Amino acid sequence: MPQYLGLDSSTQSLSALLIDTDSGKVVADRSVNFGARLPHYHSPSGFLQSDDPTIKHADPLMWVEALDLILQELRDAGVDLGRVRAISGAGQQHGSVYLAKSLDELDEVDGWSVSTPLSEQVRPLLSRKTSPIWMDSSTSAECDEIARAAGGDEHVATISGSRATPRFTGPQIRRFFKTCPAEWQRTAEIHLVSSFMASLLVGKSASIDLGDGAGMNLLDIAKGDWSDALLDATAPGLRQKLKAPEASTTPVGEIAGYFVKKYGFAPGTKVIAFTGDNPSSLVGMGASKPGTAVISLGTSDTVFTAMTAPRTDPRGYGSVFGNPAGGFMSLACFANGSLAREEITRRFGFSWDNFAAAIVEKTKPGNGDNLLLPYFVPEITPRVLRPAARWFGSEDFVAGRDGAAAARAVAEAQALTMRLHSDWIGEKMHTVLVTGGASRNRGLLRVLADVFQATIMPLPVSNASALGGALRAAQAADNCAWETLFARFCPPDRALAVAPDPSTRQVYQELGATFETRLKEVLSEASPQR
């Protein structure tokens, strides 16, 4: 019975998920929370505290130690890792690791020594002690500089799939080059979190894959290679510090002897290129083909879908990444996800059941023309640089006295902004898969179905990114069919499917137009464009 291991190095934890493709079952599912299990890294939320709120870095040794810890837990739990045929996985997108020495230059034949903890062997290889992660927003100046040097934001987006973006790796590299010249000179190799984790497993340098590489503002997504124009705009000599990117299906090597001797993996176990957590989740949710969108309802909300062609968002909000199953994917991120929903429940003392009942039982589509712009915190999509919540409608609603209308208003506003800011994708979404903490709320599902005029189906998958890694390992190493893998491991929960009400189509076309008009007013006040 062939087994495949998927790993996911996310912001707050490292997860491992082992599947058996014959039985269609998950053999093991483990997670190491960084804050709880590795408190000596002083990162309770997965990153180091800083006096500057725009700076969010993590210690890469924490990820290394977590890898040892989770494999030890699997072995101690009786999991026979010798049965694993292949491994793949993902890392939080945009995070970067800086090495003074390429892992291809490790002295020992097997790369790592079993007599020393892996983290202690990696420590002297780092040219930069900390890694900026996706939450870091300290690079606005560097984004401006890259855009100017490369011919403008639109040109950067045409090449890389996204405008120069503070969370992305290219601007972080430029900031490092500017502020730490000595460490920059010492840097021989730069990795993303994904390629770094794959490199640890094979004991040599693994390439960045095209899926994750597209989130760097450095990749020419049409050519599948680093863009000379963007490299030159970012930092001198940058190409020499990056291995050539490779397809997500590429075997990057066989597992290092360290893991064979210490944890019982079989010699020759294949390691497939790791990718970013969002591209990996696309696969783990069975949504790798156009026509099926995924909405993740979490702290922030995201909308992503496979694309037939690498279109870019003319407004500059959405991003294009590589689809690990082939082709491309789009992604838009909305910071006011559960933060806005929780603000409404807090103000009106609602439970989640109350919130759902307010939408389904006490209000109607269109909400009596009550409209909310739900920007309680600064927003990524669209760019709202400071809190800018606005209430329009009846006197009671504007005065904050109508809790039921407020619940529907935040749900409708979030669904409308998702629809509005995914229209550039150009793909008809006949099915929308929903995941995340709020994906079982019947009020939210009802509104999403009607606004998108698509069938909404919650997904039972709890760790889509790690599952995506395991599925990619099975497909790349042994040519397992995607359709079979999806049917066995990530079928949607059809019993909870919500079909759209056709009678609401016109209601939401009109409300959507009003929403867009009001949004333009707020954007002109709150977020002047550069």
CB 497 within 8 A of CB 457: yes
Q: Write the single-letter amino acid at 488.
A: R
- 136-171 tens-digit pLDDT: 989 999 999 999 999 999 999 999 999 999 889 999
- Dihedral angle over CA of 285, 288, 293, 295, nearest 10: 40
Show Cβ contacts of residue 429 under 8 Å, excluding neighbours closer than 6 positions: 291, 292, 293, 305, 422, 452, 454
d(CA 428, CA 144): 34
Q: State the pLDDT confidence band at 335, using cuts at 50, 70 and 90.
A: confident
Residue 417 has pLDDT above 50, yes or no: yes
- 260-283 tens-digit pLDDT: 999 999 999 999 999 999 999 999
Rg of the chain (C-alpha set):
23
d(CA 111, CA 438): 44
CA-based max dimension of the chain = 74
- 195-234 tens-digit pLDDT: 999 999 999 999 999 999 999 999 999 999 999 999 999 9
Mean pLDDT of 166-180: 96
d(CA 84, CA 86): 6
Mean pLDDT of 312-332: 89
DSSP string, 255-297: --HHHHHHH-PPTT-EEE--EEHHHHHHHHTT--STTEEEEEE
**Six token digits for residue 510:** 């009109």
Chain mean pLDDT for the chain: 93
Q: Give the whole-number percent of the chain exceeding pLDDT 90.
A: 79
Q: Write the single-letter amino acid at 23.
A: S
The pLDDT value given to residue 107: 61
Show Cβ contacts of residue 510 under 8 Å, excluding neighbours closer than 6 positions: 366
Residue 525 has pLDDT above 80, yes or no: no
- 71-94 tens-digit pLDDT: 999 999 999 999 999 999 999 999
- 282-301 tens-digit pLDDT: 999 999 988 888 998 887 89
Across the strands, what pairs with 303?
295, 332
Residue 527 has pLDDT above 60, yes or no: no
DSSP string, 66-114: HHHHHHHHHHHTT--GGGEEEEEEEE-TT-EEEESS-GGG-SSTTSS-T
**Six token digits for residue 30:** 């483990």
Residue 493 has pLDDT above 90, yes or no: no
Burial grade of 455 (CB within 10 A; 0-12, 13-18, 19 or more):
middle
Burial grade of 48 (CB within 10 A; 0-12, 13-18, 19 or more):
middle
- 358-412 tens-digit pLDDT: 999 999 999 999 999 999 988 889 988 788 899 999 999 999 999 999 999 999 9
- 500-524 tens-digit pLDDT: 999 999 999 999 999 999 999 888 8
The pLDDT value given to residue 423: 86
Q: Give the whole-number percent of the chain exceeding pLDDT 70.
A: 98
d(CA 526, CA 377): 12
The pLDDT value given to residue 529: 46
Residue 479, sorted as left (phi over 0), alpha (psi -120 to 50) or beta, turns out to be left
Across the strands, what pairs with 32?
14
Name the one residue in this structure whose structure tokens are 């629809």: 419
Mean pLDDT of 3-30: 96
- 424-445 tens-digit pLDDT: 887 777 789 998 878 889 999 9
CA distances (Å), 444 to each of 44, 338, 439, 513, in order?
A: 31, 11, 8, 21
